[in-house]
């Protein structure tokens, strides 16, 4: 999460620096008026806010349900019954691969909130949950 935040804020800071340069050339405003606050906010968000967001995530997997809890101001607790799972993805981008983590995505029956995402868990744990759910689905009597 920190790496993704740093990449996003770096791109935003580059755009702010370009806006700063254009503003300086056209109006003579001091450099850093736009880019300075953006860089400070990016550093604050990456160093302080990302770990706080991470601490607000949690999950528990039983043989019949996956519980995912997240949020600070608005706390969301999602319970996914294994019998409702239609499709399971374990994905890793280059950042996740480098950190040894994965994103587990469960697609459930239904239209509203039919995608439940569990980011930042170890690849082995994500695969174990996927395999357990797949085993339970194949045992279902339909």
Q: Are residues 92 and 133 in the same domain?
A: yes
- 54-113 pLDDT, tens digit per residue, is 888 889 998 889 999 988 888 889 888 888 888 899 999 998 898 889 999 999 877 677
Which of the four pLDDT bands, split at 50, 70 and 90, describes residue 43?
very high
Which of the four pLDDT bands, split at 50, 70 and 90, describes residue 142?
low
Q: Give the range of the structural domain holding residue 87, as residue numbers without chain letter.
A: 58-139
Average pLDDT in the chain: 88
Q: Are residues 121 and 74 in the same domain?
A: yes
Domain boundary at 18, 37, 54, which?
54
Which of the four pLDDT bands, split at 50, 70 and 90, describes residue 7?
very high
Q: Are residues 40 and 83 in the same domain?
A: no
Instruction: Kindly report the backbone phi and psi dihedral angles of residue 118, in degrees, each rounded to the nearest multiple of 5, phi listed first.
Output: -120, 95
CATH of the domain at 118: 2.30.29.30
In this predicted structure, the answer to whether residue 140 has a pLDDT above a threshold of 60 is no
Domain count across the chain: 2
Q: Are residues 74 and 93 in the same domain?
A: yes
Outline where the chain has alpha helix (H): 2-27, 35-44, 50-55, 94-99, 123-139
Short-list 42, 45, 53, 51, CA closest to 12: 42
Q: Are residues 65 and 131 in the same domain?
A: yes
In contact, 121 and 102? CB cutoff 8 Å? yes
What pLDDT is stored for residue 78 in this prediction? 87
What pLDDT is stored for residue 138 in this prediction? 66
Which of the four pLDDT bands, split at 50, 70 and 90, describes residue 125?
very high
């Amino acid at each position: 999460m920190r790496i993704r935040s740093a990449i996003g804020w770096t791109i935003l800071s580059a755009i702010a620096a370009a806006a700063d340069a254009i503003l300086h050339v056209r109006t003579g405003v001091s450099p850093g008026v736009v880019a300075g606050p953006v860089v400070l906010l990016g550093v604050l968000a990456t160093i302080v806010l990302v770990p706080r967001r991470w601490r607000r995530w949690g999950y528990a997997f039983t043989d019949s349900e996956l519980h995912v809890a997240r949020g600070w101001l608005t706390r969301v607790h999602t319970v996914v019954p294994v019998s409702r799972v239609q499709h399971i993805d374990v994905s890793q981008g280059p950042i996740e691969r480098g950190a040894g983590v994965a994103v587990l995505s469960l697609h459930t029956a239904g239209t509203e909130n039919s995608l439940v995402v569990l980011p930042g868990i170890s690849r082995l744990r994500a695969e174990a949950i996927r395999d357990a759910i797949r085993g339970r689905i194949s045992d279902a009597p339909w």
